[in-house]
Structure 1
Amino acid sequence: MARAATPAAARLLRAALLLLVLVAAGRRAAGAPVVTELRCRCLQTLQGIHLKNIQSLKVTPPGPHCGQTEVVATLKTGQEVCLNPEAPMVKKIINKMLNK
């Protein structure tokens, strides 16, 4: 035989369900940033690479995922390499890519 829930238990259950719905809705909010990694990608960096080998360049500013600027170059071979954003050659590469 089932017992009727007390009013306090019913309120607690409703509050828990509402919280669950709000959390699930918040995860799907339009325009919410999606963080895939909560750590730096570049543990080791190169001081430079020849510009003709680079297909694309992605510069990620410091943020909650990583406290340093990261420069990731995708080579024409498809390989990704991290470049030191402070290296003079890398600064030149970034300027050339921006001016294209």
Structure 2
Amino acid sequence: MARAATPAAARLLRAALLLLVLVAAGRHAAGAPVVTELRCQCLQTVQGIHLKNIQSVKVTPPGPHCGQTEVIATLKTGQEVCLNPEAPMVKKIINKMLNKDSAN
């Protein structure tokens, strides 16, 4: 005798089937760009941080994933911090990091 599925189990089954359909449809989308993140990474930014605390800086230009330039600094502690790309201090940090990289 078959048992009726509970409402929670039925919702879970529907969600799993929907996910399966979406994954299968995505595999057939020819020429679709591969984007690891589909949204902006930086929801909040800081105006600047002392250069001695920064290990590296990653600048991501605007694109289909996000309409704004994002500046993400990785600190020597491993923490990532989003910087305001328009802040004068951040512009100086980017220039110093670029000059440091080109000097090597």
Matched residues, number? 100
Poorly superposed stretches of 4+, deviation over 3 Å: 1-33
**How many Å apart are 1:34 and its aligned residue?**
2.8
Tell which deviates more after alignment, 84-93 or 8-17.
8-17
CA pair 25-3 structure 1, distance change in 2 beyond 3 A: same
CA pair 74-4 structure 1, distance change in 2 beyond 3 A: closer
Question: Aligned equivalents of 2:86 and 2:94: distance in 1?
Answer: 11
CA pair 56-26 structure 1, distance change in 2 beyond 3 A: same
Q: Report the 3-state secondary structure (helix = DSSP H, G, I; strand = E; otherwise coil) of the residue aligned with 2:14.
A: helix
Match of 2:62 in 1: 62
**How many Å apart are 1:60 and its aligned residue?**
0.1
- Bigger radius of gyration among the two: 1
Question: Aligned equivalents of 1:33 and 1:69: distance in 2?
Answer: 19
Match of 2:18 in 1: 18
Tell which deviates more after alignment, 59-68 or 15-24.
15-24
Tell which deviates more after alignment, 23-32 or 43-52.
23-32
Question: Aligned equivalents of 1:71 and 1:61: distance in 2?
Answer: 9
- Gaps of at least 5 residues in structure 2 are none
Percent identity between the aligned chains? Answer: 95
CA pair 72-4 structure 1, distance change in 2 beyond 3 A: closer
CA pair 28-77 structure 1, distance change in 2 beyond 3 A: farther
Q: Report the 3-state secondary structure (helix = DSSP H, G, I; strand = E; otherwise coil) of the residue aligned with 1:73.
A: strand
Q: Report the 3-state secondary structure (helix = DSSP H, G, I; strand = E; otherwise coil) of the residue aligned with 2:72.
A: strand
The TM-score normalised by the length of structure 1 is: 0.68
- Gaps of at least 5 residues in structure 1 are none
